[in-house]
Amino acid sequence: MERPTEHLMDDHQVAARGVSCLAAIADGVERGAAFPAADVAVALRFLREWVVAVHMRKEDDLVGPAVAMRGDERAAELVGELFRLREEIGELLHSLVLFWEPLGELTKEETVGFTSTVSALVQRLKRRQLLEERELFPACNRFVGADDQLQWLNEFRELENQRGPRGDWAGQIDALAQRWLTRG
C-alpha cells in the first residue's frame, strides 16, 4: 500500500511544477514581457486553493503534529519552522491578490512589487518543500508507526474531495508548464 509520505511526494511534483511556472512568469515580466494576467491567476489560485489549502493541510494537520509528538527535539523544531513558513506563504499570497485581475498594464512600481513578492514567495515554497523531503518525511517514517498513519490516506482523500483533487489541478498546471517551462 502507498505510504502517506509517498502520496505527499507525488503532491510535491505537481506543486513544484506550479511554483516553477510562477517563477518563470515573474522572470518574463521582469524582462519586460506583457503581464500574462490569466496565467498568473491560475498559478496563484493553484497555490492558494490547492497547495496551501489542501496539500499543506495534509502535512500540517496530520503529519506535523504526529512527528512533533513522537519525534526528537529537532523534529519538533522543524515542525514549528514549517508552520511559520506556511504562514509567511499565506501572507505573501494574500499580498499578490492585487494581481489577480489587474485593471490594465502594470506600472513600473507594480511590476517591481509583483516580481519581488513572487521571488520571496517562491523562495519560501521551495525551502518548505526541501525541509519536508529532507527532514519531515524521513522523521515521519522513522518515528510514527504505521498504525498511527492508517487513516491518513483516507483523510488526505477527504480533503481533496472537499476542496479540489490533485488530478484536477495537474491538467491546468501542465498547460501552464507547456507555455512557461519549455522555453530556453
Residues at the interface with Fe ion (CB under 5 A): 132
Q: Minimum distance from CB of 155 to Fe ion (Å)?
A: 15
Residue number of the CB closest to Fe ion reads: 132
Task: Determine contact, residues 17/131, Cβ cutoff 8 Å.
Answer: no
Name 159's Cβ contacts closer than 8 Å, sequence gap at least 6: 54, 57, 58
Task: Determine contact, residues 149/51, Cβ cutoff 8 Å.
Answer: no
Q: Minimum distance from CB of 14 to Fe ion (Å)?
A: 11
- SS3 category, 15: helix
Q: Quote the distance between the C-alpha of residue 101 and its chain's center.
A: 21
Name which of 64 and 71 has its Cβ closer to Fe ion: 64
Q: How far apart are CA 108 and CA 63, in angstroms?
A: 43
Name which of 16 and 120 has its Cβ closer to Fe ion: 16
Q: Minimum distance from CB of 86 to Fe ion (Å)?
A: 9
Name which of 132 and 160 has its Cβ closer to Fe ion: 132
Name which of 132 and 135 has its Cβ closer to Fe ion: 132
Helices (H), 62-107: 64-70, 73-95
Query: Which is nearest to 59 in space by CA: 2, 118, 140?
Result: 140
Name which of 55 and 106 has its Cβ closer to Fe ion: 55
Q: Minimum distance from CB of 16 to Fe ion (Å)?
A: 10
Q: Minimum distance from CB of 12 to Fe ion (Å)?
A: 6
